[in-house]
Amino acid sequence: MGEDVLIRVRAVFEKKGRAKYISHLDLNRCMLRTFRRSGLPIWYTEGFNPHPYYSFALALSLGYESGCEILDFNLNEDIPLDVIRDRLNAVMPEGMRVVSVAEQKMKITRIAKAEYSFSLFSENTSELLKDINELLESDQILVDKKTKKGIKTVDIKPETEVCKCEATEKSVDMIMRLPAGTKTNYNPNLFFEALVKHGCVPFTAEKICRTGIFCENNEIFS
């Protein structure tokens, strides 16, 4: 195979269990070791300080699980996709597993939304559900969001899509889609903060997991 070969690969991986406590910075270091141990012919950048090229589509909040993390990298040899997957999984740390490997299709800039599932545990789930519905039906959902220019008050209601909101005996289980990508990024923590600000009954947010990454038209990003 010639030196000019460049294979652009996109892997989807899980980050669950203990791995949810790996920060984004540590994830970069972790993936560097993973590539080295896998023996894959990863493409290196050129210049004075060459390093393996790879990138993550979206940073994941610390403590969140995910079943759909996107990892892009380049190889300088054409290797079967299932071999790439298996060689990575053989050296992945506990809690991380490559689900699928494919050629890169869509540009990262097409990412517009991320879907999350989570459970809000409370001693009074019926009252909590009532408070959640009141907040969702209000004209605005104002939260303080940290930006490069400081703290800014934003209304997250127009871009918050609730796909599921059901009460069980111990929790209110929700699935929510929020803006994500190169322009705007929200995560469920903003919604939790809005609930507290709204004065709802005490709750604990658990089992927070990113379950999907989508384009503007709700097409699955691939």
pLDDT digits (tens, 9 = 90+) for 45-73: 887 888 888 999 999 999 999 999 999 99
Residues 172 and 202 in one domain: yes
Structure token digits, residue 126: 């019926």
pLDDT tens column, 111-160:
999 999 999 999 999 999 999 999 999 999 999 988 778 888 999 999 99
Structure token digits, residue 125: 């789930």
Residues 80 and 122 in one domain: no
- Residue 134: helix, strand or coil by DSSP? helix
Strands 204-214 and 113-121, by their bridges, are: antiparallel
Residues 210 and 119 in one domain: yes
Residues 117 and 201 in one domain: yes
Residue 220 located in a structural domain: no
**Model-wide pTM > 0.85:** yes
Q: What angle do CA 172, 69, 94 make, to 5 degrees?
A: 90
Cα dist. 188→62, 64, 101, 148 in Å? Answer: 12, 10, 28, 20
Residue 221 located in a structural domain: no
Structure token digits, residue 51: 């390093």
**pLDDT confidence of residue 2:** 45
Residues 88 and 118 in one domain: no
Choose the final residue of a domain: 89, 105, 121.
105
Residues 120 and 196 in one domain: yes
Provide the number of structural domains found in the chain.
Answer: 2
- Lowest-confidence range among 11-15, 47-51, 163-167? 47-51
pLDDT tens column, 174-218:
999 999 998 889 999 999 999 999 999 999 999 999 999 999 999
Establish how many alpha carbons lie within 13 A of residue 130's alpha carbon, considering only the half-sphere containing its beta carbon.
8
Residues 84 and 133 in one domain: no
Q: What sign does the dihedral 43-47-51-53 (CA atoms) show?
A: negative
Structure token digits, residue 133: 């519905």
pLDDT tens column, 64-114:
999 999 999 999 999 999 999 999 999 999 999 999 999 999 999 999 999
Please answer whether residues 174 and 189 qualify as being in contact, where contact means their C-beta atoms are separated by less than 8 angstroms. no
What length is written for the chain?
222
**pLDDT confidence of residue 1:** 42
- Contacts with 178 (C-beta within 8 Å, 6 or more apart), sequence order: 113, 114, 116, 156, 159, 160, 161, 186, 187, 188, 190
Residues 92 and 122 in one domain: no
**pLDDT confidence of residue 3:** 56
Residue 16 located in a structural domain: yes
Residue 219 located in a structural domain: no
Residue 222 located in a structural domain: no
Residues 101 and 195 in one domain: no
Residues 127 and 166 in one domain: yes
Mean pLDDT of 10-24: 97
**pLDDT confidence of residue 146:** 82
Give the domain range for residue 156: 111-214
Q: What sign does the dihedral 203-207-210-212 (CA atoms) show?
A: negative
- Which CATH number covers residue 186? 3.30.70
Tell me the average pLDDT of the chain. Answer: 94
pLDDT band at 13 (very low <50, low <70, confident <90, very high): very high
Residues 168 and 98 in one domain: no
170: which DSSP letter? S
Residues 72 and 130 in one domain: no
Q: What are phi and psi of 26, to 5 degrees?
A: -70, -30
- Which CATH number covers residue 15? 3.30.70.580
